[in-house]
A and B are shown apart, each in its own frame.
Chain A
Amino acid sequence: MIVTRRRFVSWGSAAALSALAPRIAFAAAPTDRRFVFIIQRGAADGLGTLAPVGDPAFAPARGPLAEDFATGAKLDGMFTLHPALAGVAGLYKGGEALFAHAVASPYRDRSHFDGQNVLETGGTSAYSVKDGWLNRLLGVLPEPEKRGMAIAATVPMALRGKVDVASYAPSALPDASDDLIARVTTLYASDPQLHELWEQAVATRQLTGDLAANNGQNAAATGTLAAKLLAPADGARVAMIETGGWDTHAGQRGRLAAQLKGLDAMIGALKAGMGPLWSDTMVLVATEFGRTVAVNGTGGTDHGTASAAMLFGGAVKGGRVIADWPGLTQADLYEGRDLKPTTSLDAFIAGAAAEHFGIEPARMAKALFPTVGPVKPVEGLARV
């Protein structure tokens, strides 16, 4: 389709620029697109989420952990989904779920906190970049779409930066009186930091209305809540949801199943809540790094390297697994213990975001990952 090409116009060529000028205007026009980043804190096990059952080394390496996949959805000759991801399997069948395996950020050590910092800032090493890639994504969007929201009491690193963002989490405290709100506004007027935070807080309070009744404790409720914040025309266009509990050092079998069930419910609730806007929605799920291929002595796995990333939504060209599979024999492993990264998570994110927002991929990559060097965005991830 020609229209899809229009959204990939390079800004570099003067000839193309003049020939396609009206189309560029079209590309910059605000649309209904929504983008959600769900971070899996704690290093989610990609091999336990999307299992390479077709790799003969998988079952011996994983022992009892591999048994779960007897009942999971078989996606192709190689990969089977964890059975707890039943809803996700349905999305896959409908072409609304896409997976990338053996992916990793540029981070190559095994500290959660450093790994999460690299994942969220989009840098090459921990603490080298001071703002987050999700905030920089907002920076390249047209004005009416520059609205970011953290579904959390505070703003996570990926959303911090130049563009002001809101945060929201349901509260059981009684609402402050309108009069007190007004007086606090005056009290904070000459304090730049508090003034800015307060403006955001008050704006969000008006937007969310009666949402405080929802206690948001379980994953489905969080998905529903996120959809409520994203769906209104003047709501958030870009949102981030934090999930924890993925650090499965022991007893991984039961724990990961419970975690994945929660994720499945969250995605399901998000889709239901978005209604028709789901067709313009892209949800990215990613983690800081993966886990060891071998099971440790306590039925769990330790910190590893490559993992899996996921895209969901009507805007996703799904029903596929993207993987340059490195293999799981001992010789194939990274440092003799971890799934070897063969696809750059940065390239995956840059490609997905570029196509979803109709921004030229190289420009998007540079905006999101400015210090990483040349990132070649993965192509063909979105329905454009």
Chain B
Amino acid sequence: MLEEKDLCCNGSAKTLILACAGGSNTGQISNKAMIELEKRGMGNAYCLAGVGADLSGFVESARAANTILIDGCPIGCGKKSFEKHGITPTRYIVVTELGIEKNHNFDNLEAETEEAIRKML
């Protein structure tokens, strides 16, 4: 859970990491990569669904932050959610552009996520 020190007004922009978390291998890789990037100190995992659902707290938080947006595939649901609110991610990553083919096979997620993260860093 966030603590008060994480939220408090220190004047510097936070980095938020958002992932499409869609129903394919690449969607799930985006989600696992988001968590891994947070563990590596690159920012805070955040809820893309909140932005997509037009919830004002999520939209304005994304607008105020530096953002790393990870989509699983070129359909770009995350990017479209951002565009709807005129937000441009600081860094945009599409998992399929990292050489991982989109499918519905979830057996190799660990290895594919490792490969994706290696290419993201």
Task: Answer yes or no: are A and B bound together in one complex.
Answer: no
Using CB atoms and an 8 Å cutoff, list the residues of chain A in contact with chain B.
none
Using CB atoms and an 8 Å cutoff, list the residues of chain B in contact with chain A.
none
